[in-house]
Structure 1
């Protein structure tokens, strides 16, 4: 039985605990949240013991593994003591907020026995995996270009919320788009260069919203266009597509299918089976990797790569220059 301590009992902490407890080989036994109300609610809802600090929770000898669901800018404060213990760690995406933090994490990881996985949940979804396989298997031939359309028209965060503070959250690029950046690297390999424009959750806007657009070249030669937004009205889209010499594929997150196109022919709808809870699959895979001592599906390096991709987009937009990786 793997005994788990959870740091951060906000929306994601509350989402993960039931999944972790549903696994017969794991149990969440304790939690820490600096917000007294969130901590008290977690104790009552999940019958958890409460720690007085992140470090106290992480260094408890009866805690076998650490699950980090605190805000992005806080991740490093949990990772530091976790690395010292050598315990396995699950850290929600994105890995961190700044390049300085990323470098600190890299250094600590090199000196630690901790195996870290990052919460890129979309890699566990059956339809997303089938879309990926269609790309890497050669089904559409040599891939030439791709698009990502991530539009949220129901953004409701208000001033004072850390999501609405670019310095804390990194805006739509580091938060929501980081899923797609990880998937693009998974599909096409390392990034070569980025150009971009963004609004950086401008404080001059009446209410928080955000937008970023980027053009990316991968070392494989694939070029990609990316649009991402947090708006307070308008459409919602969560869409990816890739074009090869022999055909193309497209996929919308949440569907149990993807579209496959051959030149001059209508779309073939490729069904990918019944919907499964990707979060449950992800958490079970993490527990299984601990029990078996195997490499996690998503590694710390994957988290580092996705962070640096996002950071390159933000730097390219801020400096109005091409950023090479």
Structure 2
């Protein structure tokens, strides 16, 4: 017997990826509905190879009798409708930033802290930021071995993190640069084509951006509150796939072979680390893949007990849609969702 599942924000890049992921993983569904804003109502979206769903208006949708709702409509929309769905008895897995740091909402990456799901008393679970997800998946087995003290990370984040509009802007600017048309910057603060922008989200009082703050506080909430994190987040002219250069300082001495073995065995991680030309994974190679890839693993001799590595993942899949679906799968495995389907 399956579940009644709603996908909220179904016409966006992440919403479409959620529908695709549910179908690919044969999630146990009896009934599925695609929801979005009034302006998107009536559009059609695909679910699997043979099913087309007509998008319904979120504003008027009654969540009573529905089991699971995967939300990715924007933070302000989730703020209104996620509690409404939870109140109707529907488990909400929200991909936006709105609930992540609320103390009574679990922030979950299933490979890292699945037991946090047992504390979902409000019926809402938060999906972490895309750049945080792939980092903590890679850090978890290393933390278990050597205990992390400090993480310094520089991200190279794809424009898909800014939605379809960001991807369209990279395409339009790239085309314009070749044909001699003026380049217009609307979604980003500066030209993104053939450029890098060290600025994601708004600036905060201490000079960090909110994206950098998210990586810090979310890592501490998910993995360990005693870990220090310093992040520099950069938008790069890549359509899909986030990359991260990560340096970690541990409490205990690092054994490189033990680190390799832990990463090889870790759920959700693929270690591809060959010390030769091309012996690493780049963002274009991870598109459409579920794993978090780790390469360039090496000792950092400039700090006590230091280790550095390169990490890439598809930010629309593991960084958003897949992680949300895995949360739902884990809740079912832990008997935390009791379906209402008849």
Q: Is 1:239 matched up with 2:248?
A: no
TM-score, with structure 2 as normaliser:
0.53
Q: Which runs of 5+ in 2 are unaligned?
A: 107-118, 170-183, 190-199, 204-208, 260-270, 272-280, 284-292, 338-342
Q: CA deviation at 1:56?
A: 1.2
Name the counterpart of 2:332: 291
Name the counterpart of 1:137: 145
Q: Which runs of 5+ in 1 are unaligned?
A: 191-219, 297-325
Q: Is 1:64 matched up with 2:72?
A: no
Name the counterpart of 2:219: 183
Matches of 1:95 and 1:253 in 2, distance apart? Answer: 31
Name the counterpart of 2:173: none
For residue 32 of structure 1, give the secondary structure of its aligned residue in structure 2.
strand
Q: Is the 8 A contact 1:91 1:118 kept in 2?
A: yes
Q: Is the 8 A contact 1:5 1:31 kept in 2?
A: yes
Name the counterpart of 1:114: 123
Name the counterpart of 2:176: none
Q: CA deviation at 1:146?
A: 2.4
Q: CA distance change for structure 1 residues 70 and 160 in 2, over 3 Å: closer, same or farther?
A: farther
Name the counterpart of 1:3: 4
Q: Relative to total residues, which structure has the larger helix share, 1 or 2?
A: 1
Q: Is the 8 A contact 1:149 1:227 kept in 2?
A: yes
For residue 146 of structure 2, give the secondary structure of its aligned residue in structure 1.
coil
Q: Is the 8 A contact 2:131 2:215 kept in 1?
A: yes
| Cα deviations by residue, 1:133-178 (Å, 9 ceiling, x for unpaired) | 2133217xx73x32121244868747998888xxxx9548445863
TM-score, with structure 1 as normaliser:
0.55
Matches of 2:46 and 2:233 in 1, distance apart? Answer: 37
State the number of aligned residues: 245
User: CA-atom RMSD, angstroms?
Assistant: 5.1
Q: CA deviation at 1:85?
A: 1.2
| Cα deviations by residue, 1:8-67 (Å, 9 ceiling, x for unpaired) | 1211101111111233343362122115347503279952243333451523x3x32111
Q: Is the 8 A contact 2:104 2:120 kept in 1?
A: no
| Aligned counterpart in structure 1 of residue 26 of structure 2, from 21, 24, 27 | 24
Q: Is the 8 A contact 1:6 1:32 kept in 2?
A: yes
Q: CA distance change for structure 1 residues 175 and 79 in 2, over 3 Å: closer, same or farther?
A: farther
Q: Is 1:91 matched up with 2:94?
A: yes
Q: CA distance change for structure 1 residues 76 and 162 in 2, over 3 Å: closer, same or farther?
A: farther
| Cα deviations by residue, 1:69-89 (Å, 9 ceiling, x for unpaired) | 101222111212112112211
Matches of 2:211 and 2:41 in 1, distance apart? Answer: 22
Matches of 1:153 and 1:42 in 2, distance apart? Answer: 24
